[in-house]
A and B are shown apart, each in its own frame.
Chain A
Amino acid sequence: MSRLSQKQPSICTAVPLTDPDVSQKLALLRQVLTSCFGPWGRLKQVHNNVGGAIMTTSTSSVLLKAIQVSHPLLKLLVASILNHTSRFGDGGLFAGILSLCLLENALRLGVDQAVAVGVYNRLLGLCDAYLVRDDCGCKIRVDFSSTQTLLTLAHGLLASKPACALTPAEVKHVALQVTRAFLLTVPCGTRGRDRLGAAVVVPVEGQPPWASAALGGLLVDMPESLHPADLELQGSTLIRLALFSVSLAGDLPEAGDGPLELHGETCLEEAVLEQLLRLADQLVSDGVQLLACQKVVHPVLQHYLRVRGVIVVERLGLAIMEPLVQMTDAQPLATFQAPVPGVSYGQLGGLSLHQCGSRAMLHLLPAGEPATCTLVLCHRNQTALAELKVSCERAGQVLRLMLKEPFALLGGGCTETHLAAFVRHESSSDVTEAVRELGCSRHDYMRVVGAFCHSLESVARALGQDGGVTLTDLCHAHCWGIPAAPPADVPWVELVRSCGCGLMSGHSGLEWNLIGTEYPSFSPALNLGTESLPCVLDSFFAKANALHVAVESANLILDLKYVIQDRN
């Protein structure tokens, strides 16, 4: 007899943000995210308390997936950041830090939370409107006639992740390969279908990052029985391919779990194998030269096909199936019990061998236009390789998104300080109207505006080194960093080399102001007349959305009055 336990009543917590425990947790999460940010960010080691595998990372999507936060407010924030990074690839840390700063600043002010939410919303609108303006001072139009912008974007994404353990030269090399991989996925012909091809990442452990390469076509593990000499026999003609998504291991994948009744002396295995061999006969007579299977192929079938000159590639895995279908126009077959329809065969342009260290791989070359590519990533150990893989995938995602909106934002904190200066200036010019619309006092309005700008500047400051100082100039409102602990006898002006994005260099008669201190509002000047490109760029699409995510999740959390938890 089962016992029934009494149902627990739910717990309802009022005004959760005033709880000191919650604000401590918010501060801790902010510290963790802030210290991850930027090329001088620090790494986080994540492991469980029973000696599991250790992960070292500073990427928000990896970190936030690995840790689980205890409070529902934090869960809400983490979920929205993860959602953002899964779609946009970049800007997770930016969104997290900005959101937490907005929250903390609003709470510190002691302004009515509804007022803070209203002002934040209004300022977000202001930023949005500015960012889409043609004369926006912190964005540049991407010139597709040169790869420079693409390279800079990819470079920035890789250089900001120290866990990748790359030297500057290696970063350049890998960024180049990522960009090449992206360009390989852009179809060059106009055959009516203008969708991007797939880029498959193949991580190889044990080789230095210099061995990383972008290749057209796809790579699969070399079948054991295949010798390099066999590949030369294939010649240069098109290769006919049959693709199976069903297991050809000789079992009955469709049978399910129930009992199976067989008549008389029938042996199931032999029956299935017979069917497989019949299938093999058909493939051979149809002139198929390569059989690819997502799962396992029965050794007898492999042997049977091999002696008839068919190459068998098994255990492709799910990830490569879709790109392979795209590349070869084959239809994946989900059964081996029916004859293969002729239309489902695909075509390959050829086969070759790709050697990466001790690992030999079969290179499937596309027939015709190659919009499918493989990015082979190499690194010396697992930790670095995992981080490199994530970073390169993010970079690929960012580059692809750039096709939607051919813009990029200034990196290195310059966009943040520039926006902050702009918001300060704009909001001070229409205070009366804003106060009337929002129904709050002028004083409160100005304080929340200050909180918003400080939050943006805090993000810029998070990019700086430990103990370093961050400045903003009072002309273009770019962000300038000074290294930590400079020797005592050097004036700090000497230490300023160039702004965060690299567009401007020091000693040009600029006036500076410490970030976080008050300065008279001014309209940031536009960067006119400079031909040179910034050397640090951010994705426009990702950052604009991250700004939304940050402000809206902060607003949502500020708006929360009760948390109701089910304890059952």
Chain B
Amino acid sequence: MSVYGCRVVHRQRHEGLQQLVTLAGSARSFLGPDKRYKFVVDEDDGGSSLVCSPLRLLESMDTGCAAVQLLLETVQAHLKSFHMGTVTLVFMVGAWSSAALECLREGIPVHDVVSSMTEGLELCSEACQMSCVSLKEVVRLVGCGPRRQGNSTVASAQGSERVSNGSQIISVATCFSHLPAQGVSKSRCLAGRSCQDNKFPTMIRHNLKLRHSRHFSQNEETTGTEVGCKRSIESSFLPRHNFEYQDIAFLANTVCHGSDSLMKLVTEASRIQTENARCGDFSKCVFDVSKLVTCLLPGFSEECSCVASGLVTFASVEQASIVDRLKDQNLHVALIGGDLSEKYRHLGYNKPSDIRNIGVSLNPMKPSRGDKWVADVSEMLLRLKVNVLLVNGVVSEDLAEACFRHNILIIERVRPEVLKDFAKATGAIPVTYATQLCELCVGGGVQVTFWGGPGRRRSKRHRAVGVKIGAMGSALVTVVIASAVQAKLQALEDRFWGCAYRLHHALLDGKLLPGAGVTEMLCVKHLLKAAEDNVKQEHDSGMGSTYASRGHSPYRSIVLQRMSRGWVDYVAMLMSSTGKCSSELEACTVLGQELRPEASRSTRLSGFWEQPSGQGIGDGQTAAIYDNVTVKLEAWRRALDLVLTVLQTDVEIITGISSTDVQGLEDFLLL
């Protein structure tokens, strides 16, 4: 019989929080536009991997301790919902864990930490919702001018804006240095918007509505968090805007966060989708992230990455002759949901284990069941004039041979979303078994060509040939990501998806937050303001009655201050990683000066936001940097949830420990 153990975690030196701080510290270098790669080396087998995102880092770590596992769970859950934003999440987990630890060290009760931090984040979320900039304004304010005359390349567009809109970009910094210490009225002073903007009043009205409906009336549904939720409820629908491709390219540039080359792939994909949508009969859809597919191409330099309409994949060299024969024709396609083999059965089918056929006449000339199946299927494919077979699983060798003989192109391991897109575009119906195929299930209008790859060279990867399969009216776009360093491919792919989803969420939200630390500093100012209010009131009216009348924790102000340090750290890290300050310490000093109430505009700091974040572009002016609203706010919330959950945990119960295991361990108490 196993006896179970129960271990008590001490409150003063809270292990869980300490572990979180350490873990998050290791992911700090992923923050900012200049990401540093990390090597994770397995000492046992000598294997190593190159990682550039918190998820990959945590995945490659040993999940022995509970904190790693909780953090990994949180990161995975966030990625599942948003596909991006985990660096912020992990950083804030670390920052707030250490804030909570400091509070505990000072003897502040857990409950006060929890309630004040929760309140602090709510205050800030509200403030952020109000400082959002709508996409139209982002594009119109900064993106107007000569851009539309020129061709659609992003670079030239940017160049001209920079000249024409310099003054507005400076307003980012000026607005920032006054940012909303004074509450509502000033917090509207938005980065990247000029105050003469005639749209301004409507924006204010909207904000006020948000503000007033805030206090828990159950019918009104417009508190900050709820706006987020409403949006995410609709998130499966495509964002529809009246944006032109140029606008998208510009918008993408404001949220590219240093991954310029990858973002260029995203805008290119958007361009192709827009063009395809024009050919087909879709309503205005400028960017559909669910119709993007990536294809990794090792061995070529990163400049060879490119975007192609349709599905790009690699087929065996033997199939090249089929492709050659089929190209430039209107082809028929069939879609198979499972494996294409005689043995395959759908999920949930239990084959009876012991079947005997009695009274069978033995006939050696009779073909086996497998052969008969291959003959039947290939005959059916011929009868239905199928030229291309897209299969979700794998195809049995016999059938593949038969198809080869009949010039039927087979593509294996096609993702279900791709099958769905082809189904929609060609009118084909995906089936599970080949025997189900009928005229109705076969779609038409598919083209197959060789995909030359970068530089029109025929890439022969693993003796494979690039094939491009497209259908009329399909929005499917393949992004080929190449790298000469194979170990980097995974990280590049992750970052590409990060870029794609940044644009996707920007379109979905319809608004953006000022980026490059402006939003974080806004939150810091809000928290400090709130903390100051607390102190002031205590002085005004004597302490006791303050608690009694307002229900605030006596430690509210100190907790809020500690919490705001987290964001200061974040901005400092950002400044030092972009090289605006030589070290985090220096950045902290700059920010500290900035936050002093008597400080006037700090030139040093304004300079940081004026200057380009990533690649150096000439005269210190570039498109403003923006962040996604919902993703950022959700990442903060999830980070705080994790920290508070760990903070409130006082006992760790380990099951399955026998009484002999714990002898000599003082920490353990057996239950």
Contact = CB atoms under 8 A, between A and B. Distances in A.
Interface of A: 24-25, 28-29, 32, 35, 40, 42-51, 53-54, 56, 63, 66-70, 74, 162-163, 165, 167-170, 172-173, 176, 205-208, 210-211, 225, 247, 249-252, 255, 257-266, 268, 295-296, 298-300, 303, 307, 315, 355-358, 360, 378, 380-384, 465-468, 483-487, 489-491, 494-497, 506
Contacts of A29: 671
B232 A51 contact: no
A66 B655 contact: yes
A483 B554 CA distance: 10
B308 interface: no
Interface in B324-367: 337, 346-360
A296 B347 contact: yes
Interface stretch (B220-228, B259-267, B606-614): B220-228
A259 B225 contact: no
Contact of A303 (B230, B235, B436): B436
B463 interface: no
27 contacts: A25-B671, A32-B671, A35-B650, A42-B649, A49-B656, A51-B63, A63-B653, A67-B671, A70-B1, A167-B118, A167-B225, A170-B225, A176-B218, A207-B81, A210-B228, A247-B348, A255-B352, A259-B356, A260-B355, A262-B358, A299-B432, A355-B237, A380-B637, A381-B641, A466-B110, A483-B554, A489-B543
A251 B671 contact: no
Contacts of B108: 485
Nearest to A360: B236
B119 to A, nearest CB: 8
Contacts of A56: 70, 645, 649
A263 to B, nearest CB: 6
Contacts of B539: none
Interface in B506-560: 543-545, 547-548, 551, 553-554
B665 interface: no
Secondary structure at chain B's binding surface: helix, strand, loop or mixed? mixed
B382 interface: no
Nearest to A58: B648
A382 B655 CA distance: 20
A255 to B, nearest CB: 6
Contacts of A298: 346, 349
B357 to A, nearest CB: 5
A44 to B, nearest CB: 5
A62 to B, nearest CB: 12
A83 to B, nearest CB: 19
Give the 6 A-B CB pairs with smallest separation, nearest first. A296-B348, A494-B544, A299-B432, A210-B229, A42-B650, A259-B354
B638 A380 contact: yes
Given A69-B671, A173-B218, A358-B236, A268 B346 contact: no
A402 to B, nearest CB: 21
Given A67-B671, A208-B228, A251-B350, A43 B73 contact: no
Nearest to A257: B353
B367 to A, nearest CB: 13
Nearest to B416: A224
B67 to A, nearest CB: 9
A325 B492 CA distance: 52
Interface in B427-459: 429, 431-433, 435-436, 440
Contacts of B216: 168-169, 172
Interface in B621-671: 634, 637-638, 641, 644-645, 648-657, 659, 661, 669-671
Contacts, number: 266
A261 B358 contact: yes
A383 to B, nearest CB: 7
B212 interface: no
Given A44-B652, A51-B69, A69-B4, 6 more contacts: A50-B656, A53-B69, A66-B655, A357-B233, A358-B235, A486-B554
B114 A162 contact: yes
Contact of A44 (B110, B352, B651, B659): B651
B484 interface: no
A107 to B, nearest CB: 19
B47 interface: no
A261 to B, nearest CB: 5
Interface in B380-431: 429, 431
A381 B545 CA distance: 39
Given A40-B111, A44-B649, A303-B436, A268 B355 contact: yes
Given A32-B6, A261-B358, A466-B109, A207 B229 contact: yes
B74 interface: yes
Nearest to B70: A54
A103 to B, nearest CB: 16
Contacts of A167: 118, 122, 225
A495 B553 CA distance: 11
